[in-house]
Amino acid sequence: MSKQINVALIGNPNTGKTSVFNALTGLNQKVGNYPGITVEKKEGICKLPRGVKAHIIDLPGTYSLNASSLDENVVIELLLNKNGKDYPDLAVVVSDVENLKRNLLLFTQIKDLEIPTILVINMSDRMAYKGITLDIAYLEKELKTKIALISTRKNKGISELKELLTHYKEISAEPCLNASEIDTSYFNNLRKAFPNQLLYKLWLVITQDVNFGKTDRKTYDAVEDFKTKSKADLKRLQQKETIKRYQFINETLKKGQTIDLKSAKDLRIKLDRILTHKVWGYLIFAVILLTIFQAIYDWSSVPMDFIDSSFAALSEWVKVTLPEGAFTNLLAEGIISGLGGIVIFIPQIAFLFLFISILEESGYMSRVVFLMDRIMRRFGLSGKSVVPLISGTACAIPAIMATRNIESWKERLITILVTPFTTCSARLPVYLIIIALVIPEGRVLGLSYQALTLMLLYLIGFGAAVGSAWILHKIMGQKSKSFFVVEMPNYKLPLLKNVALTVLEKTKAFVFGAGKIILAISIVLWFLASYGPGDNFNNAENIVTEKYASQNLSEDELNQKIESQKLEHSYIGIAGHAIEPAIRPLGYDWKIGIAIVSSFAAREVFVGTLATIYSVGSDEEETIKNRMAGEVNPILGGPLFNFASGISLLLFYAFAMQCMSTLAIVKKETNSWKWPLYQLVIMSGFAYLVALVAYQVLI
* Residue 215 annotated as lining a ligand binding site: no
* Residue 25 annotated as lining a ligand binding site: yes
**Phi–psi pair at 2, nearest 5 degrees:** -75, 145
* Residue 329 annotated as lining a ligand binding site: no
* Residue 38 annotated as lining a ligand binding site: yes
Residue type, 649: L
* Residue whose C-alpha is closest to residue 517's, from 525, 506, 505, 529: 525
* Residue 61 annotated as lining a ligand binding site: yes
- Exposure string of 193-221, with b = 16+ CB inside 10 Å and e = fewer, is ebeebebbbbbbbbbbebebeeebeeebe
Contacts of 545 (CB under 8 A, 6+ apart): 558, 562
Residue type, 253: L
* Residue whose C-alpha is closest to residue 520's, from 598, 594, 409, 591: 598
Angle in degrees, CA 568, 640, 447, rounded to 5: 145
* Residue 183 annotated as lining a ligand binding site: no
Q: What is the 3-state secondary structure (H, E, C) of 122-147?
A: ECHHHHHHHCEEECHHHHHHHHCCEE
* Residue 608 annotated as lining a ligand binding site: no
* Residue 59 annotated as lining a ligand binding site: yes
In this structure, how many other beta carbons lie within 10 angstroms of the beta carbon of residue 502? 21
* Residue 40 annotated as lining a ligand binding site: yes
Residue 121 forms beta bridges with which residues?
Answer: 95, 149
CA gap 349, 449 in Å, rounded? 19
* Residue 60 annotated as lining a ligand binding site: yes
* Residue 123 annotated as lining a ligand binding site: yes
* Residue 188 annotated as lining a ligand binding site: no
* Residue 80 annotated as lining a ligand binding site: no
β-pairing verdict for 40-47 and 53-58: antiparallel
* Residue 228 annotated as lining a ligand binding site: no
CA gap 611, 588 in Å, rounded? 16
Q: Decide: 684 and 656 in contact? Cβ < 8 Å.
A: yes
- Exposure string of 109-133, with b = 16+ CB inside 10 Å and e = fewer, is bbbbbebbbbbbbbbbbbbeebebe
* Residue 12 annotated as lining a ligand binding site: yes
Q: Decide: 175 and 248 in contact? Cβ < 8 Å.
A: no
* Residue 363 annotated as lining a ligand binding site: no
Q: Decide: 53 and 4 in contact? Cβ < 8 Å.
A: yes
* Residue 71 annotated as lining a ligand binding site: no
* Residue 18 annotated as lining a ligand binding site: yes
How far is CA 279 from its chain centroid? 29
CA gap 461, 431 in Å, rounded? 12
* Residue 403 annotated as lining a ligand binding site: no
> If phi over 0 gives left and psi between -120 and 50 gives alpha, with beta otherwise, what is residue 230?
beta
* Residue 124 annotated as lining a ligand binding site: yes
* Residue 415 annotated as lining a ligand binding site: no
**Per the annotation, where are the binding residues for Mg(2+)?**
22-23, 25-26
**Per the annotation, where are the binding residues?**
11-18, 22-23, 25-26, 36-40, 58-61, 122-125
**Per the annotation, where are the binding residues for GTP?**
11-18, 36-40, 58-61, 122-125
